Structure 1
Amino acid sequence: MFSYESPHRSRTDARRPRGRHRAAEAPVGAPAPTTSADGTARPPARPPVELIGTPRGNWLTRGRDGRLTAYATGPKGLLRWTEGTPWEPAWSGPRHFPVPGLTDASIAQGPLGHVHVAGRRTPGSDPESVDVVHAVQYQTGRPFTRWRSLGAVSRRALRPRLGVPLVGVDATGAAHVFLRNGGGGVSTRRDSPRDGWLPWQDLGGRDVQARLASWSTGRGGVGVLAPAADGALCWAQGADDAHVTREDPVDGIAAPAEVTALCSVTGGPVCLWSAPDRDGVLLRTDTGRVVELGGAPDGGPVAALWLPGDGERLALACRGRDGTLLVGVCDTAVSETAGGGPAAAWAAYDVGPFVGAPALARADGGRVALAVVAPTGPLLAREFAEEFPGRLEFTAI
């Protein structure tokens, strides 16, 4: 049984003063402050946090109030760090949301700022007990809803082959969950605003890899890419805001590939990934041209964010083969005419060890936020969009 946290304030909270100058409270179990040789106080060293990795999708989100939130997965569930308010600017966290047996998760944010999480869990020792769960956070810093099981996708004997659930949100705020099913194809389940969660639908396909990619289409729907041995299978939501239907395959992408997809100005997907037989990050434009952007990625996901302007400049971040954080900017218009040569500028940052993939998000004041999750928690840097990446300075949150 999943735990549920009431969104209402407790009586203890109600008795606390609400003044703007309330003294900050140290979290339970926080290490005591230390003092340097000259007698000045310095921040205490943070203890390590039990981590597995970062969710698929953009795990750094911005709420409607402008505050950022970072998420990670741990051995006992989901972890969350929340940016403070103007009168209490310190970040809070990690806050733990128990999900027994959680192995993988993905995150997507809807048009109203709601954060949806879909997870794959194996609550017991039986590998056939795999379950897919979903929950929503409706407001920055508030609890998640009850974790809901989405029911059986495949027959029990095939459940260990289930892939990582991928959640997407369309323009109506409806959540769509996609994953590789036990037969090697793709299945989806949709939360209809009128009828609630509809039954699982088998979209077809075969021999797709475990990790899929989704994007928001130009029609306000969701699309999904499923890399397979002979290309990437593609489905997208129709103009009627209803079911997802099969579209032409996306050529140039073959498994294994950790694909990131974004909506272009034409509504089609722009894809980024790294491949074991190529040295740099690969970009597939919405016209189908594949360009190598340089860099030296380790094969993991590439975080990408459109920079403000004409929809042609992308901020990029990924892990390098040497363990450093690679940060770059790509002009997709130049990539179209670059003759196959690198069309991105990269810089390497030695931020120390970090788990999972980096994340990018729009921040306040026209800035771009970039984050990684270190063993002691997230590290965050911000830079103005027109100057990105500039000289990024990372601080612990």
Structure 2
Amino acid sequence: MNGDWLIRGRDGRLGVYLMSDDAVLCRAERTPGGPWEAPRRVGGDQKVHPALAVGQGADGYAHLASWWTTLKGVTGMVHSVHFRPLLAALDWAPLGHPDKKGDRTGTPAVAVDTQGRAHVFVRGIGTGLRMIAQKEKGGWDPWRDLKGQGLEGAPVAVTGESGCVQAYAAVSGGILHWRQEAPGTQPVLQEPLKAPVRTGTLRALATSPEHTTLFYTDDSGDVCAWRPGTEPVSVLAAAGPGPVAAIRTELDGHDCTLLAQRSASGRVAFAAYPTERESAGAWWAESGPQLPADAVVALAKDHEDRVVAAALSPSTGLLQLTRRKDEPGLALMAWRTV
């Protein structure tokens, strides 16, 4: 899965997306902060491949993108919109193939701009970046070739506070960055960053009206933060493999960035620091039980704007949650299985 698979819907209910063998499933709270429903299939009966991207707009709607193969053997990308966690999602709608025809090319990424238009990014057959975006009055523009070569792993996409969509992708020895100059325009390839990057560790977060921050793990094992136009900064040593989860939240009256990651010990590690002030330092603190080796971690805010952390094991479907307590600092409630 790629993107924010733990979301808060327009009605305050939390929901999570997970993959089965040939379908996307959703679990959601019955009421905000209440018990959880059993997993339900979303997107209709059409079978999809086990690759999912999730992006959420300011309107609270979740946009899902995946791959399918039709009964005639044609492979392409599909898109669905989920309006609320407890309502049925729209059936999967075909987007075609980013290179007109061929096999799957990689895991997509989705960002939703301030007008609610989804932008789907995916690696092309030639290892450059492709994008398809919704039109303002419905329908989709054609697939665009955004250039770039040698993409490794899945891209990540984010909408900045300015409303412009941005995308990042790892290449050998660096990171490529695409940015819209204005909302609704085609993202343009920017000056690349030369840096040792571990594939599969990218995570982007809007951190101010001017900037998005990209988190990645370098070859030395440090989590680094990079804002285009500046030099990357080492934040702290990675707690474990894979990307960090990241969210902005207020801690003791300060705008802070909270990171979470499954640690090498199998527990969830948390670290926080003042947003865009990596020089202030950050330290991991572990929480909760040991998780399965394939567990992934996500962060969101609930109906009371409290930070919620979720750990999901794709192989077992085990979902565990904790919430921040209503007290100073980052005190968490006991983890529970839902």
Matched residue SS, 1:150: strand
Amino acid at match of 2:247: L
Letter in 2 for 1:383: R
1:127-276 alignment to 2 at 5 Å? 129-154=74-99, 156-157=101-102, 159-160=103-104, 162-252=105-195, 254=197, 256-275=199-218
Aligned counterparts of 1:72 and 1:355: Cα–Cα separation in 2: 13
Distance 2:297 2:71 in 1: 31
Residue 284 of structure 1 pairs with residue 226 of structure 2: yes
For the residue of structure 1 that corresponds to 2:52, the secondary structure is strand
Shift of 1:348: 4.4
1:104 to 21, 31, 51: 51
The residue that corresponds to 2:321 in the other structure is: 380
Which residue pairs with 2:249 in the alignment? 307
Change (3 A) 1:392 1:297: farther
Q: Distance in 2 between matches of 1:373 and 1:255?
A: 22
Residue 371, structure 1, aligned to residue 310, structure 2: yes
Any conservation in 2 of the 1:179–1:210 contact (CA below 8 Å)?
no
Match of 2:236 in 1: 293
Shift in Å, 1:70: 1.0
Instruction: Identify the residue that residue 292 of structure 2 maps to in structure 1.
Output: 353
Structure 2 vs 1, CA of residues 325 and 80 (structure 1 numbering), >3 Å: closer, same or farther? same
Distance 2:115 2:249 in 1: 24
Structure 2: runs of 5+ lacking an equivalent: none
**Aligned-pair CA distance for 1:147:** 0.1
Structure with bigger helix share is: 1
Q: 2:325·2:333 contact (CA, 8 Å) conserved in 1?
A: no
Match of 1:164, SS state, is coil
Distance 1:349 1:181 in 2: 40
Identity %: 27
Q: Which residue of 1 aligns with 2:40?
A: 95
Aligned residues of 1:331 and 1:344 also touching (Cα < 8 A): no
How far off its partner does 1:394 sit? 1.2
Is the Cα–Cα contact under 8 Å of residues 48 and 66 in structure 2 kept in the other structure? Answer: no
**Separation in structure 1 between the aligned mates of residue 300 and residue 337 of structure 2, nearest angstrom:** 17
Deviation at 1:320, TM superposition (A): 1.7
Equivalent AA in structure 2 for residue 137 of structure 1: H
1:304·1:316 contact (CA, 8 Å) conserved in 2? yes
Structure 2: how far apart are the matches of 1:386 and 1:211?
A: 38
SS in 2 for 1:307: strand
RMSD (Å), alpha carbons = 2.6
Distance 1:324 1:199, change over 3 A: same
Bigger radius of gyration, 1 or 2? 1
Who is 1:22 aligned against? none
Displacement of 1:255 after TM fit? 5.1
Match of 1:78 in 2: 24
Displacement of 1:121: 3.5
Asked if the contact 2:309/2:322 (under 8 Å) is kept, the reply is: yes
* Alpha-carbon shift at residue 330 of structure 1 (Å): 2.8
For 2:24 and 2:207, the matched residues in 1 are separated by 31
Q: Are the aligned partners of 1:118 and 1:135 in contact in 2 as well (CA < 8 Å)?
A: yes
Contact 1:227 1:233 in 2 (8 A): yes
1:69 aligns with 2:12: no
Report if aligned partners of 1:84, 1:92 keep a CA contact under 8 Å in 2. yes
Assess if the C-alpha contact under 8 Å between 2:159 and 2:206 holds in 1.
yes
State the alpha-carbon separation in 2 of the partners of residues 333 and 109 from structure 1: 23
User: Once the 2 structures are TM-superposed, how far is the Cα of residue 85 of structure 1 from its aligned partner?
Assistant: 2.0
Change (3 A) 1:76 1:205: same
CA distance in 1, matches of 2:127, 2:54: 23
With normalisation by structure 2, the TM-score equals: 0.88
Q: Give the aligned residue type for 1:120.
A: W
* Offset at residue 304 of structure 1 (A): 0.3
For the residues of structure 1 that align with 2:91 and 2:305, how far apart are their CA atoms? Answer: 35
1:58 maps to 2:11: no
1:264 is displaced (CA, Å) by 2.0
* Alignment TM-score, normalising by the size of structure 1: 0.76
Q: 2:40 aligns to what SS in structure 1? A: strand
Paired residues, number: 332
